[in-house]
Chain A
Amino acid sequence: MNRRASTFAVHAILAAYTLLALFPIFLILINSVKSRTAIFGSPLSLPGPDTFSLVGYQKVFSDSQVPLYFFNSVLVTVVTIALVLIIGAMAAWALTEYGFKGATLLKLYLSIGIMVPIRLGSVAILKLIVGMGLVNTWTGLILVYTAQGLPLSVFILSEFVGQIPKDLKEAGRAEGVSEYQIFVYVILPLLRPAMATVAVFSMIPVWNDLWFPLLLAPGNGAQTITLGIQQFIGEYVTDWNAVLAALSVAIIPVLVLYVVFSRQLIRGLTAGAVK
């Protein structure tokens, strides 16, 4: 096979697979803005002036609490990420910087959480959350997701803390600045790029999770968007306009965020964060 033919073959395969990856999503998005007859009559065509319809979206926004679920998801995700980053950075700093007895053992202890899915402890987690009166609250979800995200955060941030030049820390210490101030004013700003990577990583499983919302916050307006959409579709299963619109509402924000942050995410993934 000569060079040009093989380049063509490579592009053909990659393009075909890209099409396979995108087509289902595209199909849902275009049909979500079509009338019911057009959805069934010509599912593969783009919406035109005759077939354009937002009836599904009207139903999603009037008959469900999608804006509320969306807000819940944003809140739970943002607070979780903030905790995972700050608490994680503090732990990573202590474990890496102060070579105290037992630091290695503690790292090993934390690494259990990277390998063993926290879901397996669900029976006891539910009991714990019920006991604390945190069912159907953001707090319950945030605590569990923070526990889930911390190990990887500590693991990745430790690598970066280890790379911070000694001079930067010692300069502060020589002037009598406290360890707490060094952490806040020297270390945290230096960790910012690494924290961005950890943030993107930890965000996806929290935003997309169905299991813990189903267990810990299944009702009372505390649902996250993933669970809310799942419940909505279960209810409107025969209303194709509503189902397609609900799916699109769940897809669009993630796609927008992904397109904006994809470079950061892929760079994080390819930086060997998962070794």
Chain B
Amino acid sequence: MTDTPAEQRNFGLVGLSKARFAVLITVFLGPALAIYTLFAVYPLIATIAYAMYHVAPDGSSRFAGLDNFRTLLFDDTWSKPFWNAFRNNSWFFLIHMLVQNPIGLLLAALLSQSKLTGRAAYRTLIFMPTMLSVVIIGFIWQLILSPLWGVSKSFLAAIGMQSWFAPWLGLESSALITISLMSVWQFVGIPMILIYTALIAIPEDFIDAARVDGLNARQIFTHIKLPLIAPTIGLVSVLTFVNNFNAFDLIYAVKGAIAGPNFATDIMGTFFYRTFFGHQLQLGDRTMGSAVATMMFLIILAGLMIYLVLIQRRLQRYSY
């Protein structure tokens, strides 16, 4: 009277025939796999495939290999806007890494202090902008920074810095930084909450032991807590990377698909949109659009790989 391990695991399913079991699995898994495959995985693969075709004006398409990518990367009319968007997007990401995540870390460190009164209120209120639509945030800041309304101008005047005011969103030199900071302002809640969660998960004993050893609060933070939350900081970085290189809504809301002034705020998402749908005199191009999307895919994949292979592995080695 010995059951096989598989039967033991599925106690109640012993009586089920193989066919019935297959039906069971299909009923439970089928809907999820069907919708996910058709509307998420297939489109990704199909988009990469489209990128390898040319469409003639009559609508017929033929296989073109890597032609579209060659055009995109090396033909001046395409490569200039492409590299411009890539460069801008890299700055966009860098500003998030240098401003958003450190502020998030600081806020999380302050919030995680024991015996802090009003912690829940601070947490809830600081996270609030993150909940709103990027489009709405874009418009809010556009109004506030507008020279027409003059709110920010009179605000600067109140603290004696009136001469600093400029139409930041309209200037080629400052538009990208301004938009990046708007996005930082909105999303600072995400690193804050994730890092905060990691910080409060650190066992109290560790901290007590360090305190007994005579470390002060700052030393405890840099020598004990920071190494322990390093995996979370890695996760926050890769999330920032994926979200930033996939961004679109904010630039579109504030600057339109043209991403002005003079493409100073053009990032991969807006470049993809213009390529795919066309703008002004340029017609939309499905296959070139697919090529841009494929490049975005590769960039995001590269970021994920760096995270999975390099950062996460190294962090694990240090944390044991």
Residue numbers of A with Cβ under 8 A of B are 10-11, 13-15, 17-18, 20-22, 24-25, 27-28, 39-40, 43-44, 83, 87-88, 90-91, 93-95, 98-100, 106, 109-110, 112-113, 115-125, 127-128, 143-144, 146-148, 150-151, 154, 169-170, 172-174, 179-180, 183, 204, 207-211, 214, 226, 229-230, 233, 240, 243-244, 247, 250-251, 254-255, 258-259, 262-263, 266, 269-270, 272, 274
1/0 per position for B133-152, CB-CB distance to A under 8 A? 11110011101100001110
Distance in angstroms from A26 CB to nearest chain B CB is 10
The reply to whether B47 and A251 form a contact with Cβ atoms under 8 Å apart is no
The reply to whether B47 and A147 form a contact with Cβ atoms under 8 Å apart is no
Chain A residues with CB below 8 A from B113, complex form: 10
The reply to whether B50 and A266 form a contact with Cβ atoms under 8 Å apart is no
The reply to whether B107 and A17 form a contact with Cβ atoms under 8 Å apart is yes
| CB within 8 Å for A98 and B10 given contacts A123-B276, A210-B252 | yes
The reply to whether A274 and B235 form a contact with Cβ atoms under 8 Å apart is yes
The reply to whether A123 and B141 form a contact with Cβ atoms under 8 Å apart is no
Please report the C-alpha to C-alpha distance between residue A272 and residue B107 in the assembled complex, in whole angstroms.
19
How many residues of B are counted as interface, with CB atoms below 8 angstroms from the partner's CB atoms?
A: 88
Main secondary structure of the interface of B (DSSP, over half): helix
Nearest residue (CB) in A for B14 is A173
The reply to whether A94 and B110 form a contact with Cβ atoms under 8 Å apart is no
Which residues 21-63 of B have a CB within 8 angstroms of A? 21, 24-25, 27-29, 31-33, 35-36, 38-47, 50
Please report the C-alpha to C-alpha distance between residue A244 and residue B253 in the assembled complex, in whole angstroms.
15
Chain A residues with CB below 8 A from B44, complex form: 116, 118, 120-121, 124
- Of B12, B24, B32, B132, which is within 8 A of A170 by CB? B12
Asked whether B164 is an interface residue with its Cβ less than 8 Å from the other chain, the reply is no
Please report the C-alpha to C-alpha distance between residue A28 and residue B142 in the assembled complex, in whole angstroms.
11
Nearest residue (CB) in B for A261 is B131
Asked whether B296 is an interface residue with its Cβ less than 8 Å from the other chain, the reply is yes
A-B contact pairs, 29 of them (CB 8 A): A14-B122, A15-B122, A27-B151, A40-B150, A43-B154, A87-B35, A90-B32, A91-B32, A98-B10, A98-B24, A100-B21, A106-B29, A118-B43, A120-B294, A121-B42, A121-B43, A122-B293, A123-B43, A170-B12, A183-B28, A210-B249, A230-B253, A255-B128, A255-B131, A258-B128, A258-B131, A266-B193, A270-B200, A272-B201
Chain B residues with CB below 8 A from A13, complex form: 106, 110
Chain B residues with CB below 8 A from A258, complex form: 128, 131
The reply to whether A266 and B127 form a contact with Cβ atoms under 8 Å apart is yes
Which residues 252-296 of B have a CB within 8 angstroms of A? 252-253, 269, 272, 276, 286, 289-290, 293-294, 296
- Of B28, B38, B110, B133, which is within 8 A of A14 by CB? B110
Chain A residues with CB below 8 A from B140, complex form: 24-25, 28, 247
The reply to whether A211 and B11 form a contact with Cβ atoms under 8 Å apart is no
Residue numbers of B with Cβ under 8 A of A are 6, 9-13, 21, 24-25, 27-29, 31-33, 35-36, 38-47, 50, 103, 106-107, 110-111, 113, 116, 118, 120, 122-129, 131-136, 139-141, 143-144, 149-151, 154, 185, 188, 193-194, 196-197, 200-201, 235, 242, 246, 248-249, 252-253, 269, 272, 276, 286, 289-290, 293-294, 296-297, 300-301, 304
Please report the C-alpha to C-alpha distance between residue A112 and residue B107 in the assembled complex, in whole angstroms.
31
Chain B residues with CB below 8 A from A204, complex form: 131
Chain A residues with CB below 8 A from B6, complex form: 99
Nearest residue (CB) in B for A115 is B304
The reply to whether A43 and B151 form a contact with Cβ atoms under 8 Å apart is yes
- Of A209, A270, A274, which is within 8 A of B196 by CB? A270
Chain B residues with CB below 8 A from A15, complex form: 122
Nearest residue (CB) in B for A250 is B136
The reply to whether A91 and B39 form a contact with Cβ atoms under 8 Å apart is no
The reply to whether A173 and B11 form a contact with Cβ atoms under 8 Å apart is yes
The reply to whether B139 and A123 form a contact with Cβ atoms under 8 Å apart is no
- Of A21, A122, A208, which is within 8 A of B276 by CB? A122
The reply to whether B133 and A210 form a contact with Cβ atoms under 8 Å apart is yes
Distance in angstroms from A247 CB to nearest chain B CB is 6
Chain A residues with CB below 8 A from B193, complex form: 266, 269-270
Please report the C-alpha to C-alpha distance between residue A268 and residue B24 in the assembled complex, in whole angstroms.
31
Which residue among A117, A125, A233, A250 has the maximum number of chain B CB atoms within 10 Å of its CB? A117
Distance in angstroms from A212 CB to nearest chain B CB is 11
Which residue among B27, B132, B133, B286 has the maximum number of chain A CB atoms within 10 Å of its CB? B133
Distance in angstroms from B236 CB to nearest chain A CB is 10
Please report the C-alpha to C-alpha distance between residue A9 and residue B132 in the assembled complex, in whole angstroms.
29
Nearest residue (CB) in B for A28 is B140
Q: Known contacts A119-B246, A123-B47, A244-B143; can you find 6 more A-B pairs with CB under 8 A?
A: A94-B29, A121-B47, A124-B47, A150-B32, A211-B248, A255-B131
